[in-house]
Each structure stands twice: as structure tokens, then as C-alpha cells.
């Protein structure tokens, strides 16, 4: 009876020592911890940035998210392209238009958009590493070619309609960027640019009324009043 009790005690002690060794081994530095299984159809969570668990993946202190940075560069590039188109269209209208008010507006487009590009957008583009476009976009080149084939009243009406449509869209784009931009320089040029474009839009809408060019809400010509 005494021998059985001693054997039982030895077995119990050996089991305790073995269990303690397993726990100690699992807690050793460098020993990988077991991971929770991923449920079917569940995507593993992306790791957050080290040192700041509140920041999302791909975001680092003092920088804008990659998507935001790309959007700001695209805005600056597009603004430079659009400004070059306004300058070339203005030069064309100053030559071909037969109306004084259209000629004056066209000359203002050349002056204002040239200054906006040189003083605002080119310096910001250089800061962001955005290459300056070589000219207007393909779409704007087609519009310029279309106007080159017109003359007289047809030219004036087409140019007025195009300017209303372009400035309506540009004003929306600039206002949106002024709200969303995180880069302070991009935000500033978007805010300043929206003010000038708003003035341009008011001028060309008044010219459209003078020339009986009806413009719908999207800025496309819908016929004479």
C-alpha cells in the first residue's frame, strides 16, 4: 500500500515538471505565438503603422495618404492643361471673333490663365514633382480644331458655349479641390483659382445672354432665345 502511494506521488511530480517545461518553452523570446484562424471568406486585417495604431495602413506621420497625393498631382496637371487650352482658345477668339465683347473676354482669358499658370500652378507643380504638360489635352485639341473651322456668328456662338461649359466644370473642380486638398499650397491655389474662374463664368454668362446663346445647367448650347 505504501509503495503504491509513493509511485503515485512520483508520477504526479513528473507530470508537473513536464507541464512547466512546456509552458516555459512557449514563453521564450522569438518563439512564434499561435495565430487566430481566419474564417472562410474573411480577409486578414492589414497591419497599422508601428507606433501609432490609430493610423491606417499606408499612412505615415506628416504625410498625406498615397491616394490623396495622387489626386492632388492630377489636379495640378489638369489645371495646367486646361489653362493652356484657355490661352490657345483665347488667342484664336481674339483673332477670329467679330464681336468686341467676345474679343475682350478672349484677351482676358489669355492674360489671366497665363498668370495663373506662371505664378501659381507651375511653382506648385515643381514642388510636387509634376511634369509640366506639353500642351492642351487631346479633348481640348479637338475643340480648338473645331473652332478653327468656324467663322463669324457660328464661331462666336460655339466659343461662348464652350467657355460657359468649361468654366462651370472648372469651378466645380477647383471648389472640390479647395475643400479636399491636404497640401496647403494646392489648397491655396485651388481657392484663389476658384475665385478667378467664378468671375470668368459670370462674364461669359452675361455675354451669352447678350448674344442670345441659351446655356443649360451643364453649360451646353441649347439654341437661341
pLDDT of the residue at 215:
82
Q: pLDDT digit string (tens) for 119-170? A: 999 999 999 999 999 999 999 999 999 999 999 999 999 999 999 999 999 9
Fold of 70-224: Ferritin (1.20.1260)
pLDDT of the residue at 14:
46
Nearest to 162, CA basis, from 138, 174, 146: 146
pLDDT band, very low/low/confident/very high, at 26 (cuts 50, 70, 90): very low
pTM equals 0.68
Domain ranges within the chain, ordered by starting residue: 70-224
Amino acid at each position: 500500500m505504501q509503495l503504491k502511494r509513493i509511485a503515485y506521488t512520483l508520477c504526479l511530480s513528473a507530470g508537473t515538471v513536464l507541464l512547466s517545461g512546456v509552458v516555459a518553452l512557449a514563453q521564450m523570446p522569438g518563439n512564434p505565438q499561435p495565430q487566430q484562424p481566419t474564417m472562410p471568406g474573411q480577409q486578414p486585417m492589414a497591419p497599422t503603422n508601428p507606433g501609432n495604431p490609430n493610423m491606417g495602413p499606408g499612412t505615415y506621420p506628416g504625410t498625406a495618404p498615397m491616394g490623396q497625393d495622387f489626386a492632388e498631382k492630377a489636379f495640378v496637371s489638369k489645371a495646367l492643361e486646361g489653362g493652356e487650352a484657355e490661352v490657345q482658345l483665347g488667342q484664336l477668339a481674339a483673332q477670329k471673333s467679330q464681336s468686341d465683347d467676345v474679343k475682350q473676354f478672349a484677351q482676358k482669358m489669355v492674360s489671366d490663365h497665363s498668370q495663373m499658370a506662371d505664378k501659381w500652378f507651375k511653382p506648385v507643380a515643381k514642388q510636387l514633382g509634376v511634369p509640366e504638360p506639353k500642351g492642351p489635352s487631346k479633348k481640348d485639341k479637338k475643340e480648338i480644331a473645331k473652332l478653327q473651322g468656324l467663322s463669324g456668328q457660328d464661331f462666336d456662338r460655339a466659343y461662348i458655349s464652350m467657355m460657359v461649359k468649361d468654366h462651370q466644370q472648372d469651378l466645380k473642380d477647383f471648389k472640390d479641390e479647395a475643400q479636399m486638398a491636404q497640401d496647403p499650397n494646392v489648397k491655396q491655389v485651388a481657392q484663389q483659382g476658384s475665385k478667378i474662374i467664378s468671375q470668368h463664368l459670370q462674364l461669359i454668362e452675361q455675354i451669352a445672354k447678350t448674344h442670345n446663346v441659351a446655356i443649360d445647367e451643364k453649360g451646353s448650347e441649347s439654341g437661341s432665345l
